[in-house]
Amino acid sequence: MKFKDFAKYLEKLESTSKRLEITSILTDLIKNLDQEEAEIGVYLSLGYLKAIYENPKFNIAEKMMIKILEMSFETDKKVIESHYAKSGDLGDVAFELSKTKKSGNPRLNDVYKDLQEIAEVSGSGSQDLKINKSAELLKKLDPLSAKYAVRIILGTIRLGFTELTIIDALAQFLGDKTASAQIENRYSIHPDIGLVTKIIKKEGLKGIEKIKIEPGVPILAQRCQRLSDPKEVIEKMGRVWAEFKFDGTRVQLHMNRKIKPKSKDTEQNDLFDRESGEMLIKTYTRNLEETTHQYPDIIEAADRLIEADSVILDGEAIGFDKKTGEFLPFQETIQRKRKHGVAEMVKDIPLKYFVFDILYLNGKELIDLPLSERKELLKKAVKPNEEIIIDTYVETDNAEKLTEYFEEAKDKNLEGLILKKPGSVYQAGARSFSWVKMKKADTKLLEDTVDCVVLGYFYGKGVRAQFGIGGFLVGVYDEKAQKFKTITKIGTGLKEDDWIYLKKEADKLKTKEKPKNVEVNKILEPDVWIQPKIVVEVGADEISKSPTHTAGYALRFPRLIKFRTDKKPTDSTSIEEIKTLHNMQKRGYY
């Protein structure tokens, strides 16, 4: 396929917000890509170059792109900035500027290779080389192709669909809508939508049976449903394992002693004087982001304490005070998320890694085994120690005992409990009642907090005028519609540093128009729209039904609790969870 024709598909996708129509367009695209193009075509439609867990970043911002456009189209910077001020999109600017130039007609594969080369440029003089390579690419492209190439490079392609829509398109391509569940199941244990597409194009549905769990490829984390009443928990789940819920960050650890890693992390190796390249050992967040360089202490401990050739563990890392041994709040633990100064931060914020599950051991997948069997294998795989700790639990079918353990969690200043069915399998990527969370909140009214996504912000007035932001609109995720729907506006709970941080991060995600995957009532439209990427934890006094907010519910007296940089937007609280929270909140206190 020519990239010009591929760009036409992207234009069609951009022109609609109807999910069925988007699915149909994607199905047609998959049909018309050949077997070798299918993988990269799917990646590029999402704005990726590779699977999300290993996708390289271009590290090209707006100012740098303006220089690229100057060089590519031999146009004065002021002209480009004038176009940009009107359109708010450098992709649209490239579209206008390239109308006056002759262009080539490269194939999709060739443009993809050029994009890969741009992303891989690093080291001394890399900025100039990136500018030159990007300018050369744009010179080859027609206006529509240039528009989308610029957006891919800047990470602003925004076509309003996710991997789940592509899974539906693949099922439609196969002529079997019921195949979506089977495809999603394989994707959940090996989240590489390009690979899944490539195999289906070559071998059909049977081909995906060869997709297996593999150390070095993160698995989509199982998620929890919510309940607040211990009696309801026992009625719904029966006998449960109750584990403490830690206010840390989810860490999935992968190790294979028989495979050498593709690259080495010098800071990690220098810190603990380990031999570089001796084995594959990595960590990932629930967002599938690799964080190996952030946790050299966990890596080193895993090397010493795990008695297995290969393993995948699921757990929670939480910082602690070296003097008192007390756990640190999430906002301090998350400071370990950094690229530089890792060695110093290891000393300042040491971690304990509480492991609650094992998903793979010595070449065997374990997710279909009962939790009780997985826990026994976990105990054999990790030596007893104080660094990688096998999470303890209380087993009960008694609501009073469960209440006592919940109170114990609160006394320890922990978040609450996670309740699990001991006979349950590990449901990668799913949110089901085999795992349920009971959390305490910062309020005596609404018993739990809500994870929301920032959709836009309002200009500041009065004292907040100095920040350029005085409030922001947030929403929750509707999994069925695959859209973010509004639930409240927030203007409290933020310190000065929080306003500055939010404005800075939001401005990186600004869009001229409402994102396609956002549904909002016109009377609530913010002054500035942003891509739904920033996740915040919000406390409130009450959830009420709302005819104004598109979620159908509103948070009363909302306030920011903290920023959740460890969560992806689609992991925010769902509409179904909001309904549950609304039904189970205390009455008569308002």
- Binding site residue list for ATP: 243, 250, 286, 316, 356, 431, 437
Cβ–Cβ < 8 Å for 365, 374: no
Distance CA 134, CA 129 (A): 8
What is the distance between the alpha carbons of residues 495 and 474, in angstroms, rounded to a whole number?
18
Other CB atoms within 10 Å distance of the CB of residue 31: 12
Annotated binding site: 243, 250, 286, 316, 356, 431, 437
Q: Which residues are catalytic?
A: 245
Q: Which residue's entry shows tokens 């370990």?
A: 336
| Residue 32: its H or E element | helix 19-32
CA 393/CA 372 separation, integer angstroms: 11
Q: What secondary structure, in 3-state letters, does 385-451 show?
A: CCCEEECCCEEECCHHHHHHHHHHHHHCCCCEEEEECCCCCCCCCCEEEEEEEEECCCCCCCCCCEE
Cα separation, 206 vs 182, in Å, equals 10
Q: How far apart are CA 186 and CA 182, in angstroms?
A: 7
Residues 6+ apart with CB under 8 A from 464: 470, 499
Q: Does the CA dihedral 230-236-240-241 come out positive or negative?
A: negative
- C-beta neighbour count of 294 within 10 angstroms: 24
Distance between CA atoms of 472 and 491, rounded to whole angstroms?
A: 7
Cα distance between residue 308 and residue 258, in whole Å: 11
